[in-house]
A and B are shown apart, each in its own frame.
Chain A
Amino acid sequence: MRRDRLFIRSFWGAILMMAALVIGLSAVALLRDHPVLARILPPPAPSLHEIPETRLGQMIREAGEAAYRSQAARLDDLLASAYAPVYAGIPAYADFHYSLLGEYSELGAAALGRMGEAMEGRLFPGLAHRLEGVAADLDQGFLDIFSQTLDRQIGAELAALERPAVLGEVTRGIEDDAIARVRVTAPVAAAMTLAAPPAIKAASALMAKKLATKIAGKAAAKGAVKATGIGGGAAGGAAICAPGGPIASIICGAGAAAVIWFGTDAAIVNLDEYFNREEFEAELRAMIDENREAVRAEFLAALNAGLMARVSRPPAPGQPREASGVAGSFRDQARP
C-alpha cells in the first residue's frame, strides 16, 4: 500500500516537474529574442543543415543564369571601352588615306596583297589584347556573381529554417565543387583568345577589300587626266629647254612630267578628300560597327557555351516550391 502511494506520488511528481519544464522551455523559446534574456542565455547551438541535392542543383542553375544575365548586360559597355581607341583612330586613318604617302602606301600594299595587315596595324592596334582583357573581366564577373548568388540563396534557405543552422558538409562540398567548376570550365577568355584575332583579321580583310576596290577605281580615273596633262607638260618642257640642246630638252620634259604627275595626284587627293572624306569615315565606322557586332556575338556564344558547360538547363519557370497537401501537389503537377 505504501509502495503504491510512493509510486503514485512519484508519477504525478514527475508529471508536475515535466509540466514545469514544458512551461519553462516554452517561455524561453517565446522570449529568446527578448533583450534581457538574449544577454543571459547563450545563443542556440546551430545545427547542421543539408540542402537536398535537387534543390541545390536548382540553386546552381539559377546562380548560373543570374551570372550569365549580368555579364551579358555588361558586355556592351566593356566592348565600347575596348573599341574606343579604334573609333578614335578613324580621323587619323582618314588623314593618312587622304595623303600622297597614304595613297602610295595603300596602292603598294594592295599590289602586294597585304592591305589587310596594313589596316589591322593602323586601325586595330592592341584590339586583340583589349578583347582578351574583356574576356578575362567577364570570366571574373561571372564567377563573382555566381558565387554571390549561390551564397545568397543558401543563406536565405538557412535563414528560413525555424532553428539556427549552419551548412552541412555535403552541401558545402557540392557548393565548393560548383564554384570550382565555374572557375575552370569553358572560360570565355580561352574561347576569345582563339576567336578574337581571326575576327579582327576578317574585319581588316573585308575593309581592305572594299578600300582596294576604291583605290583601283580612283587610280584608273586619275590615269586619264594624268595622260593628257603629262603629255602636254612633257612637250611644253621640251620646247622651253630646246635652246639648250637635245639632252636639256629631254631632262626638262621629264621634270615637267614628274611635277605634273604628282601635282595632279595631290590635286585629285585633295578634291577626293573635300568631297568624300565624311562618307569614307562613315563607311569605316560602319565596318567597325559590323565587326564589333560580330565580336559581341562571339562573346555571347562563348558565355552561353560556358553557362551550358558549367550548369545544365534551369527548370521550367513558375514551378512552385511547395504545395498544400498531397492533393495540392497533384494539382500543380498535373498541369500541362
Chain B
Amino acid sequence: MATGILRGFVAMAVPLALWRLALPLTGWAALALLPLGIAIWWGIYLPLRDRRRAELAVAILPGARLGRWLTGRFGAGLNATLGLLVALPVLGWLALGGQAPVIMAVAAVGLMAGILSTLMTRLLSTTLTDPYARLAGQRIGSVVAALAGLVPLVWINWAVIPIPNEITSASLADAVSAALAARPARDGWPAEVMGLFAALDTVKLWLAAQYRQTVWVGLVFSIDAALVSFVAARSSVAVLEFTRSITGARA
C-alpha cells in the first residue's frame, strides 16, 4: 500500500513542482501539467466507467442493440473532463501562488486521502463488488480527508498567511492590477488562466478587507480558501487510481 501511495504522490507532486519552478523561466512549463492532467482524467474516468458498466450489465439485456452505445464511457468521460477542468487550474494556481504552510497542509491532505481511500476500498471490498467498493472507498476517503484538512487550512488562512495591509486602503482596480503585476511575465493561455485565479483571489481578499469589521466575512473567506482541500483530496485519489491501474496493483 505504501509503495502505491508513494507512487501516486510522486506522480502528482513532481509535475506541480516543475510547473512552479519552471514557469518563471519559460512558458513551456505548462507541459509539466500534461502527465498530471492525463492521470487525473483517467483516475476519475476509470472507476466511474467500471461502475456504470456494472450497472449496465445488470440493466441491459445481453445482445441488445443499445448495449453497443451504452457503455458508460460517455458519462464517465464527461465527468472526468469536468473534474479535470476544475482540478488542474486549481492545483496549478495553488502550486504557483500558494504559501508554504498551505502547500504542506494540502500535501498532507492528499496523502491522507490516498491512505483513507485505500483502507476504505479494502473494507468495502468485503461487502461490495469491486467497481462499487472502489468508487465508494475513493469518495469516502477523499471526503473524510478533505473535511479533516479543512480545519487546519481555515486556521492557516485565518491566522498565519501574511496579508498586506495596503489592500485595506487600495481600490479594487489597484489591488487587482498589483496582483496581476506580481505574476511572472509570461504570455499564453496558462498565464491567462493563472491571471484569472490571481484576480479572483484578490477580489475575495479585497472584499474581506473592506468588510473587516464583520468577523463572519473573514471566516467565509478562510473557509472558501480552504475548500482547495476537496480538490486536492479528490485529485490525489484519482492520480492514485491511475498509477494503480497502469502498474496493475489493486487496493
Chain A residues at the B interface, C-beta cutoff of 8 Å: 4, 7-8, 11, 14-15, 18-19, 21-22, 25-26, 29, 47-55, 58, 163, 168, 315, 319-330, 332-334
Query: What distance in Å separates the Cβ of B151 from its nearest Cβ neighbour in chain A?
Result: 15
Stretch from B62-70, B159-167, B230-238 at the A interface: B159-167
Give the nearest-CB partner of B164 in chain A: A322
B221 engages A326 (CB within 8 Å) = yes
A47 engages B184 (CB within 8 Å) = yes
Partner of B170, one of A54, A322, A333: A54
Given contacts A15-B35, A47-B185, A333-B168, contact A25 B22 (CB under 8 A): yes
A323 engages B162 (CB within 8 Å) = yes
Residues of A within 8 A of B209 (CB): 329
| Number of B residues, CB within 8 Å of A | 48
B163 engages A15 (CB within 8 Å) = no
Query: What distance in Å separates the Cβ of A54 from its nearest Cβ neighbour in chain B?
Result: 4
Query: What distance in Å separates the Cβ of B204 from its nearest Cβ neighbour in chain A?
Result: 10
A323 engages B21 (CB within 8 Å) = no
B212 engages A334 (CB within 8 Å) = yes
B213 engages A323 (CB within 8 Å) = no
Interface residue SS majority, chain B: helix
A22 engages B165 (CB within 8 Å) = no
Q: Which of B192-221 contact A (CB under 8 A)?
A: 205, 208-209, 212-213, 215, 218, 221
Given contacts A18-B32, A48-B185, contact A323 B218 (CB under 8 A): no
B166 engages A330 (CB within 8 Å) = no
CA distance A52 to B176 in the complex (A): 9
B15 engages A326 (CB within 8 Å) = no
Give the nearest-CB partner of B163 in chain A: A329
A327 engages B159 (CB within 8 Å) = yes
CA distance A315 to B69 in the complex (A): 69
Given contacts A8-B246, A52-B175, contact A324 B35 (CB under 8 A): no
CA distance A4 to B218 in the complex (A): 49
CA distance A4 to B245 in the complex (A): 11
Query: What distance in Å separates the Cβ of B79 from its nearest Cβ neighbour in chain A?
Result: 22
Residues of A within 8 A of B108 (CB): none
Partner of B158, one of A25, A51, A326: A326
Give the nearest-CB partner of A162 in chain B: B24
A48 engages B181 (CB within 8 Å) = yes
CA distance A49 to B182 in the complex (A): 6
Residues of B within 8 A of A54 (CB): 166, 169-171, 174
A324 engages B160 (CB within 8 Å) = yes
Q: Which of B135-168 contact A (CB under 8 A)?
A: 156-166, 168
B174 engages A21 (CB within 8 Å) = no
A15 engages B165 (CB within 8 Å) = no
Which of A8, A15, A47, A322 has the most B CB atoms < 10 Å from its CB?
A15
Residues of B within 8 A of A321 (CB): 164-166
Partner of B162, one of A51, A53, A324: A324
Which of A4, A315, A333 has the most B CB atoms < 10 Å from its CB?
A333
CA distance A137 to B182 in the complex (A): 40
Instruction: Answer yes or no: B11 CB below 8 A from chain A CBs.
Output: yes
CA distance A322 to B247 in the complex (A): 48
Partner of A330, one of B38, B170, B182, B218: B218
List the 7 closest A-B pairs by CB distance, nearest first.
A50-B181, A52-B178, A325-B159, A326-B218, A25-B21, A54-B170, A22-B17
Given contacts A323-B163, A325-B157, contact A18 B185 (CB under 8 A): no
Residues of B within 8 A of A58 (CB): 166
